[in-house]
Amino acid sequence: MAEKVQTGIKGFDILTGGGFKRKSVNIIVGGPGSGKTIFCIEFLVEGIKKGEPGIYITFEEKKTKLYDDMKGFGWDLEKYEKEGKFTFLEYTPEQVKKVLIEGGGVVDNIITKQKVKRLVIDSISSFALLYEDELSRKQASLALFELINKWECTALLASQDTSKDEHVVSAAMEFEADSIIILYHMKQKGERIRALEILKMRGIGYPERTVSLGIKDGKGILVDPTSVVSF
């Protein structure tokens, strides 16, 4: 039985039999406002509580705003940063491309120095746009996954969903990822409905149903494994 890494999201950890597989690379997909960033930060905060430092690499979030927003859930990222348990890196997609070419660079040094065990990249969609054709994207995806595997981190990669097609990430990333989680934020009869679906998870059986998801101040992501959602 593979060792599991809990996310701290109780309902999700129940659905997956304990969370993500240790040292796995996982993709979380969703549109604007679906809760991707909150899910990712909660995953990192849970690691910090368990003695596993984390690193958050973003192309889109501003540090001050993110830190202020996360305080509403009781997560003091500034405090964790000062304690050497959390690292925030605001990169451009081009800088991440350079990291791949260099085989790690600055990120590699931080991961080694801070003994990072959990990694988030938010989001890989901007990175994928650097490559014009599927072959280039495939090669870059393989290089990224190989680098993460070298770091021996449990990784969560956020992806912006801009279509209604089930093929929500590039074919290369979809094949290489250990799991794919989809967050929905759909309008139904004038109300926004949140839900979560496990599209793929290697090595375990998982429920093939879409379940209710909520976001609450002071508690973060709330998943109800027993509440099935239909769109």
Closest to 36 (Cα-Cα) out of 22, 21, 53, 56? 56
pLDDT, tens digit (0-9, with 9 covering 90-100), for 103-136: 778 889 999 999 999 999 988 887 777 787 888 8
Residues 6+ apart with CB under 8 A from 216: 222
pLDDT at 210: 95
50-59 b/e with 16+ CB inside 10 Å = b?
eebbbbbbbb
pLDDT at 127: 75
Q: Containing domain of residue 215, as a range?
A: 4-228
pLDDT, tens digit (0-9, with 9 covering 90-100), for 101-110: 777 788 899 9
Q: What is the pTM of this model?
A: 0.92
pLDDT, tens digit (0-9, with 9 covering 90-100), for 45-55: 999 999 999 99
pLDDT at 171: 67
Confidence bin at 169 (pLDDT 50/70/90): low
Closest to 182 (Cα-Cα) out of 167, 204, 170? 167
As for how many domains the chain has, the answer is 1
At 151, phi and psi to the nearest 5? -75, -15
Point out the least confidently predicted range of 185-189, 194-198, 210-214. 185-189
Count of C-beta atoms within a 10 Å radius of residue 24: 22
Query: What CATH number is associated with residue 106?
Result: 3.40.50.300
